[in-house]
Amino acid sequence: MGCGMDFAKTLRVKPGTKIGLDDFDPEWKPDSIDRNQAESLFAGLTRRLSDLQNVMYAEGTRSLLIVLQGRDAAGKDGTIRKVFGPVNPQGCRVTSFKVPSKLEASHDFLWRCHLAAPARGQMAIFNRSHYEDVLVVRVHDLVPKSQWSKRYNHINAFEKLLADNGTAILKFYLHINREEQLARFKKRIDNPKKNWKISDADYSERPHWDTYTRAFEDALSKCSTPHAPWFVVPANRKWLRNLIIADIVVRTMEEMKLAYPEPAVDMDAIRRMYHEAEESS
């Protein structure tokens, strides 16, 4: 099931290419889709996603990792709520990666991410991820370049390990522009229900916009692989962002050819036992 347009092909970062984010328009929208159509398609996709996740959970042999990255207010929380809200919580885990704890910092940078990687039958969503260690760490010189520059290869090896063990990996960069970010900050100020999301970092990070751009570009260019692709999602329009991500996830899960397992019991015997119990009641 899809929406008729191959978003994955259009928005995938081709492995081995050097991208520039200025070449991607955060306001981009297909001419063939308006908001009403998108929301109708999205409703069907989320139902399909819920069904597919149930099959993955029952099958218990493969897993899915969703990585969400983006600037402050890019929509990571909203994506999780809107796109993945309908799935069964038994088979889905969301992990937010903030400043490493003392325990996490005492290990290698991938340790905490490996702990949160999905088990077989599970879907895991990373709200920020192991990529913070080539983003904020780089921008703010938290470790020397000689250290963070090696991490792209470590990340690729980590993701290859997960893929070789049956984990499908989809990574989404939620692409907004400066104006949209500032407009979303204002909504957080004006809406008391969103005041809790305001932080000093929202504004202190804005002067580093261009430096973050270069860091994101390197991460997307160096770490988009056939088994763990990056997608640059135009995210100024939240409804289109949601449609794109739901469509790519559903298409990927359908390509996995998930299937319910064969019953572990003799179903004919179970049916006989049922009928006997029904007759005796």
**Sequence ranges of the domains in the chain:** 7-280
Q: What is the pLDDT of residue 4?
A: 64
Rg from Cα positions in the chain: 21
Tokens of 29: 């929208």
Tokens of 212: 């973050």
Cα gap 138→263, rounded to integer Å: 51
Q: What is the pLDDT of residue 1?
A: 46
Cα gap 187→94, rounded to integer Å: 25
Report the DSSP pairing between strands 167-175 and 63-70.
Answer: parallel
Question: Which runs of consecutive H residues, i.e. helices, occur in the chain?
Answer: 7-11, 35-59, 76-84, 102-105, 111-116, 136-139, 145-148, 151-164, 178-190, 200-204, 209-222, 238-255, 267-280
Among 94, 92, 61, which residue's Cα sits nearest to residue 166?
A: 61
Distances (CA, A) of 34 to 1, 128, 276: 19, 30, 57
Residue with tokens 């063939």: 32
Cα gap 16→57, rounded to integer Å: 34
Cα gap 66→58, rounded to integer Å: 19
Note whether 248 and 8 are within 8 A (CB).
yes
Three-state secondary-structure class, residue 265: coil
Superfamily of domain 7-280: P-loop containing nucleotide triphosphate hydrolases (3.40.50.300)
Instruction: Output the CA torsion 108→112→118→119 (10° steps).
Output: 80
Cα gap 53→126, rounded to integer Å: 17
pLDDT in tens, the chain (281 residues): 455 679 999 999 999 999 999 999 999 999 989 999 999 999 999 999 999 999 999 999 999 999 999 999 999 999 999 999 999 999 999 999 999 999 999 999 999 999 999 999 999 999 999 999 999 999 999 999 999 999 999 999 999 999 999 999 999 999 999 999 999 999 999 999 889 888 877 788 999 999 999 999 999 999 999 999 999 999 999 999 999 999 999 999 999 999 999 988 888 888 988 888 888 87
Among 117, 146, 143, which residue's Cα sits nearest to residue 132?
A: 143
Residue with tokens 């949209």: 180
Residue type, 223: C
